[in-house]
Homo-oligomer: A and B are copies of this chain.
Amino acid sequence: MPKNKQFHLDNRPVGEAVASNFKLVLSDTPPLQDGQVLVRHHYLSLDPYMRGRMNDAKSYAQPQTLGQTMGGGTVGEVIESRNAKFVVGDKVVGMGGWQEYSVVDADQVGALRKVDTTHVPLSAYLGAVGMPGVTAWYGLLKIIAPKVGETMMVSAATGAVGSAFAALSKARGCRTVGIAGGPEKCAYALDELGFDACIDYKLHQNAASLAKALKEACPAGIDGYFENVGGMVLDAVLSRMNAFGRIAVCGMIAGYDGAPLPLSYPALILMNRLKIEGFIVSEHMEIWPEALKELGTLVASRQLRSRESIAHGIEAAPEAFLGLLKGRNFGKQLVKLF
């Protein structure tokens, strides 16, 4: 059996997450039992939700247990199988966590899914054709429910969710505007991701200044907003929402470290008869097949071309993750393991 490098959560962040919260552990992969398969991970997905799980707070996700391997999505290859449904060489997506190998009870519902890499690269199953893509799909289709000609906005626009959101929104005939950090990301949003406009929030010191830029980019106001960040950005967008606007709340990354960020003017919810709804895509498994089908088609036809930020080797995972929380990634953040 191969030796397995894995990262445990060693201690919980006090304020900002730091590299020393994680501990690299070397272990043996246990022998397989009936029904199990051994997967070698090609890529590990790093996602903002992991920061929430590092806290021991009441939240939607179970807190990550201390002294155990950090959870996380993985794609890889079956290298040993004692399960009739999987053979060596199968490409699979699962929740293998921050480690090089995982032993999976492959009969458990949702534990491991075979994927086809003929038209879609394996890593895309962690991004555009995986959880982030389905997240964008659910928020746009099931909460925002866009109409042709409406204006849609997404924050963290060049990330895995934002780029899928853009492709899905454009496919529905909506003006699609992004918010991202820095001129390079904004140029990429326009040139590669199909956004009609992209606003660099780093040029703005406060919500009023950002709101002014939003007004210019969205002369007809904002009908739908996909929220990934919270804080100043949410305040600014809220002030530009049209009557009967819909906001899908998927992330509040700005508030993960330390003090919660307030919403300055909640009375706008009433004034503009807004609907604001939080969701977690893993609680809506019934829509995954339909969403994955559309996303797979968009990727195969190159209408959805997400960029990836790839760190190399499991040892690089903590720094890549901390960079993601600070917006240093560019597109979907992955760690390539093999």
Contact = CB atoms under 8 A, between A and B. Distances in A.
A277 B278 contact: no
Contact of A274 (B52, B243, B271, B277): B277
A316 to B, nearest CB: 29
A267 interface: yes
Contacts of A249: 266, 269-270
Contact of A270 (B252, B263, B264): B252
B266 A261 contact: yes
A251 to B, nearest CB: 7
B252 A60 contact: no
Q: How many residues of A sit at the interface, in one of the four size bands?
A: 20 to 34
Contact of A262 (B266, B269, B280, B283): B266
A255 B230 CA distance: 22
A272 B60 contact: yes
Given A249-B269, A252-B270, 16 more contacts: A58-B271, A60-B273, A250-B270, A255-B267, A260-B265, A261-B266, A262-B265, A269-B277, A270-B279, A270-B280, A272-B278, A273-B277, A273-B280, A274-B278, A275-B278, A276-B276
Interface of A: 52, 58-60, 230, 234, 243, 249-252, 255, 260-267, 269-280, 283
> Top 4 closest A-B pairs, CB basis?
A270-B278, A263-B263, A262-B262, A252-B267
